[in-house]
Structure 1
Amino acid sequence: MYVCICKGVTERQIHQAVAEGARDLEDLQNRLGASTGCGTCAEFTTECLREALEQFAPETTLPQPA
């Protein structure tokens, strides 16, 4: 499923980036360009990142949304 339409980033790409070491939204922005266009997908991108971290890097935690 596409997460970031502006940059064409998919959930699969986010999971792959996490498997390769991405640990935060900034990492995904630098590696994939996710959430650097209009920014509307930032929340969903972070949600997908959190899921991928739970799968690939359970020792890493993100701050919970307010």
Structure 2
Amino acid sequence: MIVCLCHRVSDRDIKRAVANGVHCFEQMQDDCHVASACGACHDCAREVFDEALSGQACSTGHGAGRVINIHAVTA
């Protein structure tokens, strides 16, 4: 789905940026130019970015779903 019509940025572009290490929305704006022209897509772009960021945290083992072995910590 195209999120930003002005710069033709899709949800896949945003997800790809997050997968490639972009963890700051403003950095993604600088890199992809999403939500940097008319601004009409800002809320949608931010929502896609936040979902991609939270999905990456769960899939990489960081964040709320992380399991820590107590024996390793106390040993």
TM-score category, normalised to shorter length:
0.7 to 0.9
Name the structure where helix makes up a greater proportion of residues: 2
Identity %: 35
Q: Which has the larger radius of gyration?
A: 2
The structure whose RCO (Cα within 8 Å, separation 6+) is larger is 1
Q: Which ranges in structure 1 are unaligned for 5 or more consecutive residues?
A: 61-66
TM-score after normalising by structure 2:
0.72
* Count of residues in correspondence between the two structures: 60
Residue 20 of structure 2 corresponds to 20
TM-score after normalising by structure 1:
0.81
Q: Which ranges in structure 2 are unaligned for 5 or more consecutive residues?
A: 64-75
Q: Which consecutive segments of 4 or more residues in structure 1 shift more than 6 A?
A: none
- Report the RMSD for the aligned CA atoms in angstroms: 1.4
